[in-house]
């Protein structure tokens, strides 16, 4: 009998999932002690690498020059959105509501800029030190010269993606000069494929799921000489790239007069696909701000892969298809049927709760955010809003929320073509009638 067959399917949460019901699961292991297999020192090592590459990034990506080559997004207070939600749902939201606008991240306009770009930078640094004469104290703008471009052209970078990770890695790797291949699942939007091809990236399309695309991409890359495969299901470097968000967010919260603590809880609502980016962010936050951080993962009812893995304890050894779910969602960035090999293990004691949503909800929140704050996000990036009211309603001590901060992590959107974004908006409007 395999793990899935042995699973106790009388678990009420699993039974609800099988019916595509929305669930809110409080993690019983939240806050316990655990060996997380990653360290705070690794986060600071990753942050230092970002700093070394900042001059290079400012030169080759002019949109980062204003921030001196830093790849970061703003943290925005969205009071009008909070008031609109309170009116629409006739429910009070105590505390402050903020948007971590990774939708505005430079280069690829999504949270994947953190992990995806970081792993490309680390690989480029390794190659440049081995094949060239780069040393840590150099001005990394030297990597933009024809000499290094030629060195990089002898190497390949490949990745499997539903869209945004492929964009971040594809754009960055091609800029360095790497031969770049992105294996894209059937869920990937056409405009993302087109943009990658415009950058000279080889896009391999699959009429199948993310799991199939990444598995086949991994096998193909393994047979190619000098090809480095960035693996969204188990990469430590992707994870650590995301974790640097903890350092960045600490400063942004300080600037807003917010210090997370037991009496000032900060709830962070993170959309989860394969689970690597929300897990990396959650780890970074917990290491840099060890008190008062409450991560909440948010997933579609049709693809609750990380939640299913954590509830059953099987993590990456179970996929949503194993319990009969179709794995289909309009939230393309979250259309991942099997969680990463890292997410469940790391989040076992870090995840406060997990919430699942119906697709129509994210279009409604997309509309509300545009109308209240003039901010555009893609559908999957609005997912965090769906978990705020359920989190408040599930609390044992509501007075705990008086000094709370709610941060919705908007994972992508600024690169979506205007025509497609208008279609999302119009679709969302119809759902209010």
Taking alpha carbons only, the member of 316, 333, 226 closest to residue 277 is 333
Percent of the chain with pLDDT over 90: 89
8 A C-beta contact, residue 304 and residue 277: no
8 A C-beta contact, residue 319 and residue 17: no
8 A C-beta contact, residue 152 and residue 174: no
Report the pLDDT value the prediction gives residue 5, as an integer from 0 to 100: 55
Confidence of residue 162 (pLDDT cuts 50, 70, 90): confident
Confidence of residue 4 (pLDDT cuts 50, 70, 90): low
Report how far residue 388's alpha carbon sits from residue 401's, in angstroms, rounded to the nearest whole number: 12
Report the pLDDT value the prediction gives residue 400, as an integer from 0 to 100: 80
pLDDT, tens digit (0-9, with 9 covering 90-100), for 385-416: 999 999 999 887 777 888 999 999 999 999 99
Report the pLDDT value the prediction gives residue 1, as an integer from 0 to 100: 36
For the entire predicted model, the pTM comes to: 0.95
CA atoms within a 13 Å half-sphere pointing along the CA-CB vector of 153: 8
Report the pLDDT value the prediction gives residue 406, as an integer from 0 to 100: 98
Confidence of residue 60 (pLDDT cuts 50, 70, 90): very high
Report the pLDDT value the prediction gives residue 187, as an integer from 0 to 100: 82
Residues 258-280, mean pLDDT to the nearest whole number: 96
Report the pLDDT value the prediction gives residue 397, as an integer from 0 to 100: 74
7 vs 431, more confident: 431
Report the pLDDT value the prediction gives residue 210, as an integer from 0 to 100: 85
Residue 388's Cα: distance from chain center in Å? 18
pLDDT, tens digit (0-9, with 9 covering 90-100), for 226-236: 999 999 889 99
Q: Is the model's pLDDT at 151 over the cut of 80?
A: yes
| Residue 76: φ, ψ to 5° | -115, 135
Report how far residue 329's alpha carbon sits from residue 306's, in angstroms, rounded to the nearest whole number: 15
DSSP 8-class letter at 207:
S
Report the pLDDT value the prediction gives residue 188, as an integer from 0 to 100: 85
Residue 290 tokens read as 């060890």
Q: Is the model's pLDDT at 8 over the cut of 90?
A: no
Q: Is the model's pLDDT at 185 over the cut of 50?
A: yes
Concatenate the DSSP letters of all residues of 85-131 into one string. HHHHHT----SEEEEEEGGG-TTTSBTHHHHHHHHHHHHHHHHHHHH
Residue 256 tokens read as 């807003």
Q: Is the model's pLDDT at 263 over the cut of 60?
A: yes
Work out the burial of residue 32: count CB atoms within 10 Å of its CB; fewer than 13 is exposed, 13-18 middle, 19 or more buried: exposed
Q: Across the chain, what does the average pLDDT equal?
A: 94
Report how far residue 115's alpha carbon sits from residue 277's, in angstroms, rounded to the nearest whole number: 7
CA dihedral 190, 196, 198, 200 (to 10 degrees): -140
Q: Could you give the domains of the chain?
A: 3-38+67-107+239-430 (3.40.50.1100), 111-232 (3.40.50.1100)
Distant-in-sequence, close-in-space partners of 342: CB < 8 Å, separation ≥ 6: 234, 235, 236, 239, 275, 276, 279
Report how far residue 222's alpha carbon sits from residue 228's, in angstroms, rounded to the nearest whole number: 8
pLDDT, tens digit (0-9, with 9 covering 90-100), for 83-125: 999 999 999 999 999 999 999 999 999 999 999 999 999 999 9
Report the pLDDT value the prediction gives residue 165, as an integer from 0 to 100: 92
Q: Is the model's pLDDT at 6 over the cut of 80?
A: no
Report the pLDDT value the prediction gives residue 2, as an integer from 0 to 100: 52
C-alpha radius of gyration, the chain, whole number: 21
Percent of the chain with pLDDT over 70: 97
Report the pLDDT value the prediction gives residue 382, as an integer from 0 to 100: 98
Q: Is 313 helix (H, G, I), strand (E, B) or coil?
A: coil
Whose tokens are 């997912």? That residue is: 383
Phi-psi region of 296 (alpha: psi -120 to 50; beta: other; left: phi over 0): beta
Q: Is the model's pLDDT at 362 over the cut of 50?
A: yes
Residues 3-27, mean pLDDT to the nearest whole number: 83
């Amino acid at each position: 009998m395999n793990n899935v067959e042995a699973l106790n399917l009388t678990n009420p949460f699993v039974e609800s999932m099988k019916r595509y019901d929305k669930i809110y699961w409080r993690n019983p292991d939240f806050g316990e002690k655990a060996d997380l297999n990653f360290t705070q020192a690794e986060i600071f090592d990753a942050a230092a690498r970002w700093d070394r590459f900042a001059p290079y990034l400012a030169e080759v990506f002019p949109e980062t020059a204003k921030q001196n080559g830093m790849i970061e997004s703003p943290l925005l207070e969205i009071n009008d959105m909070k008031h609109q939600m309170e009116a629409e749902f006739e429910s009070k939201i105590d505390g402050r509501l903020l948007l971590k606008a990774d939708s505005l991240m430079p280069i690829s306009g999504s949270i994947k800029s953190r992990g995806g770009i970081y792993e490309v930078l680390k690989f480029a640094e390794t190659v440049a030190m081995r094949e060239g004469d780069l040393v840590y104290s150099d001005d990394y703008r030297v990597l933009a010269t024809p000499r290094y471009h030629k060195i990089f052209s002898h190497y390949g970078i490949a990745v499997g993606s539903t869209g945004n990770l492929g964009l971040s890695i594809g754009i960055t790797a091609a800029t360095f000069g790497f031969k770049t291949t992105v294996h894209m699942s059937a869920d990937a939007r056409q405009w993302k494929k087109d943009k990658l091809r415009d950058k000279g990236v080889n896009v391999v399309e699959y009429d199948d799921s993310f799991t199939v695309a990444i598995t086949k991409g991994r096998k193909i890359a393994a047979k190619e000489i000098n090809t480095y495969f960035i693996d969204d299901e188990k990469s430590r470097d992707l994870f650590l790239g995301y974790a640097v968000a903890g350092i960045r967010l600490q400063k942004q919260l300080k600037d807003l007069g917010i210090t997370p603590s037991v009496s000032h809880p900060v709830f962070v609502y993170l959309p989860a696909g394969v689970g690597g980016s929300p897990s990396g962010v959650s780890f970074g936050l917990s290491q840099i701000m060890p008190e008062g951080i409450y991560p909440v993962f948010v997933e579609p009812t049709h693809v609750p892969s990380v939640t299913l893995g954590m509830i059953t304890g099987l993590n990456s050894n179970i996929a949503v298809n194993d319990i009969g779910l179709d794995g289909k969602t309009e939230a393309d960035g979250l259309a991942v049927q099997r969680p990463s090999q890292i997410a469940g293990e790391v989040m076992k004691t870090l995840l406060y709760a997990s919430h699942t949503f119906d697709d129509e909800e994210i279009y409604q929140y997309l509309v509300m955010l545009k109308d209240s704050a003039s901010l555009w996000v893609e559908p999957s990036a609005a997912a965090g809003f769906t978990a705020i009211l359920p989190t408040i309603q599930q609390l044992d001590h509501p007075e705990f929320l008086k000094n709370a901060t709610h941060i919705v992590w908007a994972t992508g959107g600024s690169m979506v073509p205007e025509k497609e974004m208008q279609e999302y908006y119009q679709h969302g409007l119809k759902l209010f009638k």
